[in-house]
Amino acid sequence: MQQPPQHKTIKFTNRLAFKLTLWVGICLVALTTISAYWAVRLQESRSIGKMLQTGHWFSDTVKRATSYAMLKNQRESLHQMIESMGSQTGVEVIRVFNKKGRIMFSSRSSEIGRLVDMDSEACYACHRKDRPLERLAIDDRSRIFTVNAARGPHRVLGVINPIYTSPACYTDPCHVHPPGQKVLGVLDVALSLGAVDKQLGDTTRRVALYAALMCVVICALVALFTFFFVKRPLSALLGATRRITAGDYDQQIRPQTDDEIGELATAFDLMRQGIKEKTEDLEHGRREYQQLFEEVPCYITVQDADFRLLAHNKRFANDFGPSLGQYCYRAYKNRDSRCPNCAVAKTFGDGRAHSAEERVVGADGQARYFLNMTTPITDKKGDLVAVMEMATDITDVMRLEEELKRSEEKYRLFFNNDPNPIFVFDAESLEIMDANDRAAAEYRYPPEELIGNTFLCLTHQADRQRVVEFIAGREAFLPNVRQTRGDGESFYVNLRASYGEHLGRSAVIATTSDITERLQTEQQLIQAAKMATLGEMSAGVAHELNQPLSVIGTGSDFLKKSVERGQEIDPTDLLSVARELGQQVERARRIIDHLREFGRKYEVSAESISLNQPIQGVLGLMGQQLAVRDISVRTELDPDLPPVLADVNRLEQVLINLVMNARDAIEQRRESQGGPEGLIEIKSFTQDGQAVVTVGDNGAGIAPADQDRIFQPFFTTKEVGKGTGLGLSISYGIVRDFGGNISVTSAPGEGATFRLSLPVRGEAAA
């Protein structure tokens, strides 16, 4: 957790409550002062107004009361009246001025006879113009002034009241005023404002007191309000923000009020939660990075421009045990100066990431290899301040690389020195990805032309479909595949394939072994065997030919004798004889053709055939001789036998061999024990996806000890000159070449059954 930051205490005069109270106080004082002033002024003007009315009423009352005495010029009575009215409480003075400004009567007897200045305060209102005004508005006739009396200075309201001439004044015989004189004098009444001023002073003091009290109370209320509704929740909020600043994000900020500050607190709490989550994420990320930094399987150091270690991970500390501040080159290599190929120096030079391989000889004297990668570290301004170096120990990798190189070389050596061509090609497209030197030499292609070519291009047109099916069926061995060299020459190979991956692709590793020579030898051997068979068959063939020849002989004798005797031959008989002759010639020709066909050299080829075909051929060739030897043949052929991929001629050779051996065994049994009538049974049928032919006989059978040996070359039980011991071994080779099998079951003395099976394949099967 972070250290809580130091908080300075806010000066009292800077506090919100103080400022608010101060400004509210100032405003309140100003406002209440103004309102109090106006209230007092209003009160004063109302009081003065009242006094003014009272003054005018009093002045008029005095005027009316004295008017009769004035008219009659009863001076004494006038004096007394003015004196008695002037002595009333609140009346300052009552005077009567004449036109010249002389005081004729006064409640203050000392003033009587005094002349007043026309510009004096009492006179100025009427005499401010050169000519005195005769009539004045009531307001203009009153004045307020201050007098310094013995009881202290006080204000006085003076009201002047002009005394106008009335008709009685100039018609009465007692009087002396001329009729043109309008104003005879002025009655001046002065009333004391002392009581009014006292009342006003009281009111002013009271208002001021109330205002001051109000200010104090309001300020106190504002201070209290600020304290409870602003300061306290704000302080709580401030405390919470300080806790957040200090890194304590767990304490929830609860709004204490439901006003804006409450909302602010809620917003702060949301912010706290957001910061908390972000901080936790950051912390998690930081821990992860720290863990990575510490536990990454390589050395990480941070260096300054002098190559001093500013930071390093645990692994580095464990293996090199340096203290921070040590020079990198001393820690790593115990050198006195930096390494010549230093990637850190390069990064300090150009501000970019660099990498370099280093060889370090450890304390144990063993050389170790490091791959150093550097990254610049910049400050906020973007200035390069340090460089992080990551050193990965690649000693094992280097060793593995070397081993791999050696292994690769070894593999190449084996690959290229294999006596057979080896191809690695794509299992889908059959595109050749790799081929050994032998392949290039054998197929007579420049190596670069082989790569990228398809394996089918090396295969003869006739066998391409077989190869495609072979690869698609992921089979391991395909015999007798015809290939084409770069110069167009054809040759035969046995194809062996294994399946795997190469460069991320499903690949076939195929080896081809040239069997052309072996095939030729085999062919010669087979040919020799054929010739031997033919030789052996010659007697039987003679029998086969004998029958048509004897028919032809009989026919020609008949014709010859008829001609010699001069007999006329019936045209119908002639036609019949001619037809019979023709048929027999045709039969003899078929036998000869078949023998010729059988005797020719076979081609290493396979086509879609039915196994019934060679059976029929063999029966056509040997049926007669078997019949002559009293051996009957029973056939049970499946007309819907599925086709197989083979060669009729070669299968005929196999079947002739089996039938001849059966014939020999029957005759052997006949010679030794008489035995039953000879019977050869030939059946064809389908079993387990194989087309099967069985050739059974009721001959002498095979001794159990010989059953394993009869397929070996040169094994024969026949007397010298009769058997070669090659028939079954060659038959075995032929059947295997077509992917089939041949086997025997025999009960000695009762006969033997040979079973020949060939797989039903590819297109033919479909």
| Sheet with 299-303, side-by-side order of all strands | 309-312, 299-303, 384-393, 367-378, 354-361
Three-state DSSP class for 505? strand
- CA 204 remoteness from chain centre: 83
- Report helix angle 75-86 to 16-71, nearest 10: 160
Instruction: Find tokens 């941070």 and name the residue.
Output: 302
- Closest approach of Cβ 635 to ligand ADP, in Å? 17
* Residue 699 contacts ligand ADP per CB under 6 A: yes
Q: Looking at beta carbons only, is 684 or 729 nearer to ligand ADP?
A: 729
- 662 touches 695 (CB < 8 A): yes
Question: What is the C-alpha to C-alpha distance for residues 416 and 463, in angstroms, rounded to an integer?
Answer: 26
- Closest approach of Cβ 616 to ligand ADP, in Å? 21
- And the tokens for 406? 């050696």
- Closest approach of Cβ 657 to ligand ADP, in Å? 6
- And the tokens for 415? 């690959």
Positions 215 through 254 that interact with ligand ADP (CB under 6 A): none
Q: Which of 702, 756, 758, 760 binds ligand ADP (CB under 6 A)?
A: 702
Cα separation of the two ends of the chain: 80
Query: In this structure, which amino acid lies at residue 52?
Result: L
* Residue 540 contacts ligand ADP per CB under 6 A: no
Q: Looking at beta carbons only, is 326 or 724 nearer to ligand ADP?
A: 724
- Closest approach of Cβ 707 to ligand ADP, in Å? 9
Give the binding-site size for ligand ADP (rule: CB under 6 A).
22
Positions 743 through 762 that interact with ligand ADP (CB under 6 A): 752
Positions 605 through 664 that interact with ligand ADP (CB under 6 A): 657, 661-662
Q: Looking at beta carbons only, is 691 or 752 nearer to ligand ADP?
A: 752
User: For residue 740, what is the enclosing H or E element?
Assistant: none
Beta bridge partners of 431: 454
Q: Which residue is nearest to ligand ADP (CB)?
A: 727
- Closest approach of Cβ 712 to ligand ADP, in Å? 8
Q: Which of 77, 375, 546, 717 binds ligand ADP (CB under 6 A)?
A: 717
- Closest approach of Cβ 728 to ligand ADP, in Å? 3
Q: Which of 700, 735, 756, 758 binds ligand ADP (CB under 6 A)?
A: 700
Beta bridge partners of 757: 692, 741
* Residue 707 contacts ligand ADP per CB under 6 A: no
* Residue 725 contacts ligand ADP per CB under 6 A: yes
Q: Looking at beta carbons only, is 237 or 631 nearer to ligand ADP?
A: 631
- CA 481 remoteness from chain centre: 52
- Closest approach of Cβ 686 to ligand ADP, in Å? 24
* Residue 724 contacts ligand ADP per CB under 6 A: yes
Instruction: Find tokens 């790569």 and name the residue.
Output: 451
- And the tokens for 740? 């089939």
8-state DSSP, 101: S
* Residue 715 contacts ligand ADP per CB under 6 A: yes
Tell me the window of 488-496, 564-572, 593-601, 718-726 that interacts with ligand ADP (CB under 6 A).
718-726
Tell me the window of 121-129, 381-389, 511-519, 713-721 that interacts with ligand ADP (CB under 6 A).
713-721
One symbol per residue from 664 to 683: x for binding ligand ADP (CB under 6 A), - otherwise; what is it? Answer: -x------------------
- Closest approach of Cβ 599 to ligand ADP, in Å? 18
* Residue 98 contacts ligand ADP per CB under 6 A: no
Q: Looking at beta carbons only, is 430 or 651 nearer to ligand ADP?
A: 651
Query: What are the C-alpha distances in Å from 33 to residues 200, 202, 208?
Result: 16, 16, 8
Query: In this structure, which amino acid lies at residue 197?
Result: D
- 194 touches 157 (CB < 8 A): no
- 78 touches 70 (CB < 8 A): yes
Instruction: Find tokens 């007692």 and name the residue.
Output: 174
Query: In this structure, which amino acid lies at residue 274?
Result: G
Q: Looking at beta carbons only, is 513 or 716 nearer to ligand ADP?
A: 716
One symbol per residue from 296 to 325: x for binding ligand ADP (CB under 6 A), - otherwise; what is it? Answer: ------------------------------
Tell me the window of 17-25, 213-221, 256-264, 708-716 that interacts with ligand ADP (CB under 6 A).
708-716
Q: Which of 198, 601, 718, 736 binds ligand ADP (CB under 6 A)?
A: 718
Question: What is the C-alpha to C-alpha distance for residues 96 and 90, in angstroms, rounded to an integer?
Answer: 18
- Classify residue 382 as left (phi > 0), alpha (psi -120 to 50) or beta: left
| DSSP E strand boundaries for 643-739 | 644-646, 678-687, 690-697
- Which residues of the chain form contacts with ligand ADP (CB under 6 A)? 657, 661-662, 665, 697, 699-702, 710, 715-718, 723-729, 752
